[in-house]
């Protein structure tokens, strides 16, 4: 007699709504890529919905083709279309309505922004719905994850959840309704944005934030969702940093310390208008008068802003022509990040000052095991992870004198750095690898997916989920028009 065998459980299936995903070079791409990769590594079937490549390459010129190679091969990436109304400047690419009745077209667009969904990416939502529902009818998803910004992904997740009963999770890597750099509200009290934010939070299975400050702000404003809010910090990838985060260099291992030559201070990351560049370079002017830094260099690596028009005004704020040893080295491909870190002696953590700002770079900086100088307003969220790092140098105020004092102290530490102190610094950073920060979240997502599977099986014995008829009605629609 043959005994019945238990069916092998299928892997959990996730739909990940991440508008900014490789090949985009936006800062939020790295969290999204790391999340998708880790889920795939842990056996999930992952489908990512991202923006069209054309949007990154043609309309915002924020594109790095090399980043696509770093996406796990098992991750399926789909690119639902969208309207480029907000970005299109070529009259030949206008749709018929805009080309023939531009005033009416603009009025209709502005009305939709004010009365339907107040975000320029809103046109992505119906196309995400069509792609998602079509895929769900074939192979049902167990959980939907939405990354913001943009927050059209949150609205799409909510709509998918309403139609299919698939639970969704919101990932606030940025704030929606307030500016985390200026700490000011982005929308007037009667804006639809507040209605939408309350709506998506009310039905979310879980809501995650990059730091405690952002969680507290949202928990106070939306107490009905506070019990479902969690922190999932950013982190760093050992495979990207390579030797910069691994074993001691030859010099460190032999006790010889750093490489010979002038000290190299460096910043690696996107340079933005919010950064305290004046305080950074005023502090550098003072510090370079000290014997410890007499011949030191300050190297700036990275893009100047996120868009082409950002570059010129930012370049004017970098004093490369004053004989201070300051130079701008340009963008760095992800494959070369470890090499750049390896050649620097002191890292300059220069970021906008706000309680809600962490940034992903702080984790990479710590992973190098090298001195880190803070150039930001005291009290920002990044200090939560820097606290306990043995090579962190920060003043009590954001001014030239305190920045200079921190630079001098870091220079001394770099010249006398021992293998033991490097190991201690890297041990602190090891708590923040992507695997360490994302694993607890992956376990909660897996439990959520398992719960979803049990509910569907009990309700229908079918693999199709609910809301199929409603989904069918949304599968047919007009393509994106400019």
DSSP annotation of 249 reads P
Q: What is the pLDDT of residue 375?
A: 96
* Each residue's pLDDT expressed in tens, for the chain with a length of 482 residues: 445 444 568 899 999 999 999 999 887 899 999 999 999 999 999 999 999 999 998 888 888 888 898 899 999 999 999 999 999 888 888 888 888 888 998 999 899 999 999 999 999 999 999 999 999 999 999 999 999 999 999 999 999 999 999 999 999 999 999 998 888 999 999 999 999 999 999 999 999 999 999 999 999 999 999 999 999 999 998 887 775 565 444 334 434 455 668 999 999 999 999 899 999 999 999 999 999 998 999 999 999 988 788 999 999 999 999 999 999 999 988 778 889 999 999 999 999 877 787 788 899 999 999 999 999 999 888 898 999 999 999 999 999 999 999 999 999 999 999 999 999 999 999 999 999 999 999 999 999 999 876 554 444 444 434 443 443 343 333 333 33
Strands (E) in 186-325, as ranges, are 206-209, 229-231, 264-268, 297-301
List the one residue out of 404, 117, 116, 442 whose CA is nearest residue 279.
404
Q: What is the pLDDT of residue 218?
A: 97
Q: What is the pLDDT of residue 243?
A: 54
Indicate the domain borders of the chain. Answer: 13-235+434-474, 238-431
State how far the Cα of 369 lies from the Cα of 260, in Å rounded to an integer.
18
Strands 184-185 and 178-179, sheet pairing: antiparallel
Enumerate the H helices of 101-139 as residue ranges. Answer: 102-115, 124-138
State how far the Cα of 40 lies from the Cα of 195, in Å rounded to an integer.
34
Q: What is the pLDDT of residue 254?
A: 37
Write out the H or E segment, with its range, that includes residue 285. Answer: helix 277-287
Q: What is the pLDDT of residue 477?
A: 37
Burial of 406 (0-12, 13-18, 19+ CB in 10 A): buried
List the one residue out of 142, 138, 176 whose CA is nearest residue 160.
142
The alpha carbon of residue 440 and the mean position of all alpha carbons in its chain are separated, in whole angstroms, by: 18
Contact 156, 132 (CB under 8 A): yes
Q: Alpha carbon of 356 to those of 174, 182, 382: distances in Å?
A: 9, 10, 8
Q: What is the pLDDT of residue 465?
A: 40
**What superfamily in CATH does domain 238-431 come from?**
Glycogen Phosphorylase B; (3.40.50.2000)
Q: Which CATH number is correct for 13-235+434-474, 3.40.50.300, 3.40.50.2000, 3.40.50.1110, 3.40.50.720?
A: 3.40.50.2000
Q: Alpha carbon of 89 to those of 202, 212, 308, 482: distances in Å?
A: 38, 41, 15, 10
State how far the Cα of 350 lies from the Cα of 96, in Å rounded to an integer.
47
DSSP annotation of 480 reads P
- In order, the DSSP letters of 13-41 are EEEEE-SS-TTB--TTHHHHHHHHHHHHH
Enumerate the H helices of 121-191 as residue ranges. Answer: 124-138, 152-164
Q: What is the pLDDT of residue 245?
A: 60
Q: What is the pLDDT of residue 244?
A: 59
Q: What is the pLDDT of residue 237?
A: 87
Q: Which residue has the tokens 């007499």?
A: 294
State how far the Cα of 404 lies from the Cα of 288, in Å rounded to an integer.
8
Same fold, 13-235+434-474 and 238-431: yes
pLDDT tens for 325-353 read: 999 999 988 778 889 999 999 999 999 87
DSSP annotation of 296 reads -
In this structure, the number of other CB atoms found within 10 A of the CB of residue 421 comes to: 16
State how far the Cα of 28 lies from the Cα of 170, in Å rounded to an integer.
14
């Amino acid at each position: 007699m043959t005994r019945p065998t238990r069916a092998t459980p299928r892997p959990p299936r996730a739909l990940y709504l991440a508008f900014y995903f490789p090949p985009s070079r936006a800062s939020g791409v790295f969290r999204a890529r790391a999340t998708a990769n880790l889920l795939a590594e842990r056996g999930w079937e992952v489908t990512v919905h991202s923006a069209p490549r054309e949007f990154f390459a043609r309309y915002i010129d924020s594109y790095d083709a090399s980043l696509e190679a770093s996406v796990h091969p098992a991750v399926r990436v789909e690119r639902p279309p969208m309207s480029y109304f907000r970005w299109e400047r070529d009259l030949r690419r206008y749709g018929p309505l805009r080309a023939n009745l531009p005033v009416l077209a603009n009025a209709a667009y502005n009305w939709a922004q004010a009365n339907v969904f107040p975000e320029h990416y809103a046109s992505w939502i119906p196309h995400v719905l069509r792609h998602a529902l079509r895929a769900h009818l074939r192979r049902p998803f167990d959980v939907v994850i939405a990354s913001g910004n943009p927050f059209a992904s949150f609205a799409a997740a909510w709509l998918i959840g309403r139609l299919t009963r698939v639970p969704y999770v919101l990932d606030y890597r940025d704030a929606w309704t307030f500016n985390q750099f200026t700490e000011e509200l982005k929308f007037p009290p009667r804006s639809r944005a507040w209605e939408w934010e309350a709506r998506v939070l009310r039905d979310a299975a879980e809501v995650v934030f990059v730091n405690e400050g952002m969680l507290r702000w949202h928990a106070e404003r939306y107490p009905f969702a506070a019990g479902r809010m969690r922190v999932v910090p950013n982190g760093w990838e050992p495979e990207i940093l390579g030797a910069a985060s691994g074993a001691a260099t030859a010099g460190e291992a032999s006790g010889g310390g750093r490489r010979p030559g002038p000290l190299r201070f460096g910043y690696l990351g996107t340079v933005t208008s919010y950064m305290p560049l004046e305080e950074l370079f005023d502090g550098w002017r003072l510090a370079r008068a000290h014997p410890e830094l007499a011949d030191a260099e300050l190297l700036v690596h990275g893009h100047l802003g996120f868009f082409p028009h950002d570059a010129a005004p930012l370049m004017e704020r970098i004093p490369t022509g004053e004989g201070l040893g300051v130079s701008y080295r340009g963008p760095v491909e992800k494959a070369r990040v470890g090499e750049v870190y390896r050649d620097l002696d002191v890292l300059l953590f220069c970021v906008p000052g706000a309680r809600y700002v962490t940034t992903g770079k702080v984790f990479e900086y710590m992973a190098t095991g090298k001195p880190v100088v803070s150039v930001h307003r005291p009290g920002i969220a990044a200090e939560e992870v820097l606290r306990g790092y043995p090579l962190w140098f920060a003043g009590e105020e954001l001014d030239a004198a305190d920045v200079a004092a921190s630079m001098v102290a870091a220079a001394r530490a770099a010249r006398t750095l021992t293998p033991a102190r490097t190991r201690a610094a890297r041990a602190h950073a090891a708590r923040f690898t992507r695997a360490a920060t994302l694993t607890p979240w992956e376990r909660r997502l897996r439990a959520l997916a398992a719960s979803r599977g049990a509910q569907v099986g009990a309700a229908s014995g079918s693999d199709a989920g609910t809301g199929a008829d409603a989904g069918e009605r949304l599968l047919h629609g007009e393509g994106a028009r400019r």
